[in-house]
Amino acid sequence: MRGLSICLFVGVTTAAQAQIFPPEDEANATLVRSRASQAVIWGMPAVNTDLMLQQMLDKTPGRMNQLIYWGRPLDSRNQTLTPNPDTLYVMAFFDTRQVGPVVLEVPRADAGGSLTGNTMTMWQTALEDVGVLGVDRGKGGRFVILPPGHAGKVPVGFTPLKADTHTTYALLRVNMTSHAEADVQKAVAYARRIRVYPLAQASKPPATVISDVKDIEFDSTIRYDLSFFRSLHRVVQAEPWIERDRAMIDVLRTVGIEKGKPFSPNDAVQKALLAGAADAKAALVHRYDQGFAPFFSASSHWTNPTHQEAIEGQGSNYGEQDKYPVDARGLLYTYGYISIKRPGTAQFYLISIRDKEGQPFHGSRQYRLRVPAGAPVEQYWSVTAYDRETHALIKGMSRASRSSQIADMPRNADGSVDVYFGPTAPAGKERSWVPTDPTRGFELMFRVYGPKKEFFEKRWVLPDVEAAP
């Protein structure tokens, strides 16, 4: 009887494996398609990170534990997700497998410059906010990114950041007072003072390698094809399983992703994976189109940047035992690539995908946004147009945004500022105009850097965008 039980068990296991891979009948194909859709939504933040990492490794001189930066305000050669073209970007990817704990040294904010930055895991859960409105409050600091399970002591004077992945990254935005060349170069000089080095060499740090990538085509937009699963497979091979995600082990095995094994789907599996990716995309696009909670009023088309549960989860590493908002997290990382430890302190974002009448923005039409005087911000506000489909800067445009940093933008008699969006500039409004592609839809993001309490108390209200008069 024992032998029969063993035979039956082996038979069931073999059948299960056959069903998992490859799906050569309709029932198995349905299972793979369904689980592929799950894998896309669950894996979105890590794939988002991996896409940026691979672009750095493939397209730029940058390597792990180094720095890359864009030596001028971003243009559409940078096809990351909803970036800010009114600041100077610095990016670093860290790998603690190579050298152990890694130090990110942020310079003090001074007359030479300042930055606003965030550090994150491979899964884009927040480690710490740094810079002028971060935990160091502009005093600068030495932040040590620790490997998973690290038990060693951190020297006095270093702030430990405990990561649950070997790969982490930092997104640092160096503040500019304007787009004038002198101010850009001042920001570049400050960026080049940021340092990265192994903790083991902290007593005599080696020079930091930093590369300017401003002229390089850098595209990390999300692609719902087989490359998504190859990227997810790369993450699974490189990173430890986080306990809360162990339920995904068999889900991924169903689609051909398993630790220690190659990803080599046959034609049948590939067909099911592509169908599942299309399902996931349709669901995520639908949720994005439904919008988020309005910010200024129940009728406002300026909304929160994502669902609150995603913001809370990424900031706390999903510390609340009874919540794990994978769907909201997956949606967030289809159009963004940042995680903030303390939302609303250093920066805050608002999204609008519709005009005052509730119609989606389209690049063939003319619009106006009137920004009231006295915006309650410590640093600046900006508004940026993005391609509605890719969530990246609109390709081929001469600029993507307008901001309060631009001294020569015309002001109205009451101090308000008009910003225009459309395929051509209204007569006499060129300095206030953001160009759009007449063949494509677009979306807007309004940023406030250093928001004051009056902003959250809604004592200052940003009106909806309306058809240009």
Chain segment 228-277, per-residue pLDDT in tens = 999 999 999 999 999 999 999 999 999 999 999 999 999 999 999 999 99
Candidate from 7-21, 104-118, 136-150 with smallest mean pLDDT = 7-21
Domain of 162 in residue numbering reads as 61-215
Query: Quick one: CA torsion of 449, 450, 456, 458, rounded to 10 degrees?
Result: -70
Residue 2, pLDDT above cutoff 70: no
Question: Which of 231, 261, 286 is at the close of a domain?
Answer: 286
Q: What is the mean pLDDT of residues 68-82?
A: 97
Q: What is the mean pLDDT of residues 150-167?
A: 95
Q: Residue 18: its pLDDT value, please?
A: 39
Q: Are 116 and 176 in contact (CB under 8 A)?
A: no
Nearest partner of 395 among 361, 431, 438, judged by Cα: 438
CB atoms within 10 A of CB 149: 9
What confidence tens digit (pLDDT) does each residue in 376-430 have? 998 899 999 999 999 999 999 999 999 998 888 899 999 999 999 999 999 999 9
Residue 363, pLDDT above cutoff 70: yes
- Would you place residue 174 in the very low, low, confident or very high pLDDT band (cuts 50, 70, 90)? very high
For residue 10, being part of any structural domain is answered with no
Alpha helices in 60-173 (DSSP H): 96-99
Q: Residue 19: its pLDDT value, please?
A: 39
For residue 8, being part of any structural domain is answered with no
CATH code for position 173: 2.60.40.1610
Average pLDDT over the chain reads 93
Q: How many domains does the chain have?
A: 3
CATH code for position 265: 1.10.3360.10
- Would you place residue 340 in the very low, low, confident or very high pLDDT band (cuts 50, 70, 90)? confident
Q: What is the mean pLDDT of residues 218-228?
A: 98
Candidate from 16-25, 129-138, 164-173, 434-443 with smallest mean pLDDT = 16-25
Query: Do 175 and 242 reside in the same domain of the chain?
Result: no
Nearest partner of 45 among 150, 147, 169, judged by Cα: 169
CATH code for position 324: 2.60.120.600
Residue 10, pLDDT above cutoff 80: no
Q: Are 379 and 345 in contact (CB under 8 A)?
A: no
**In whole angstroms, how far apart are CA 106 and each of 102, 137, 186, 288?**
13, 11, 16, 35
* The residue to which tokens 């050569």 are assigned: 24
Alpha helices in 239-389 (DSSP H): 248-254, 267-290, 308-316, 326-332
Q: Residue 155: its pLDDT value, please?
A: 94
User: What 3-state class would DSSP assign to 404?
Assistant: coil
Question: Which of 286, 306, 334 is at the close of a domain?
Answer: 286
Query: Do 346 and 370 reside in the same domain of the chain?
Result: yes
Q: Residue 342: its pLDDT value, please?
A: 83
Query: Do 305 and 447 reside in the same domain of the chain?
Result: yes
Residue 361, pLDDT above cutoff 60: yes
- Would you place residue 119 in the very low, low, confident or very high pLDDT band (cuts 50, 70, 90)? very high
Question: Which of 196, 215, 234 is at the close of a domain?
Answer: 215
Residue 212, pLDDT above cutoff 70: yes
Q: How far is residue 220's CA from residue 33's CA, in Å, rounded to a whole number?
A: 24
Q: What is the mean pLDDT of residues 196-222?
A: 97
Query: Do 305 and 320 reside in the same domain of the chain?
Result: yes
Provide the terminal-to-terminal Cα distance of the chain, rounded to the nearest Å: 86
Helix (H) or strand (E) holding 235: helix 226-238
User: What 3-state class would DSSP assign to 144?
Assistant: strand
- Would you place residue 346 in the very low, low, confident or very high pLDDT band (cuts 50, 70, 90)? confident
Q: Are 140 and 127 in contact (CB under 8 A)?
A: no
Query: Do 36 and 106 reside in the same domain of the chain?
Result: no
In this prediction the pTM is 0.92
For residue 438, being part of any structural domain is answered with yes
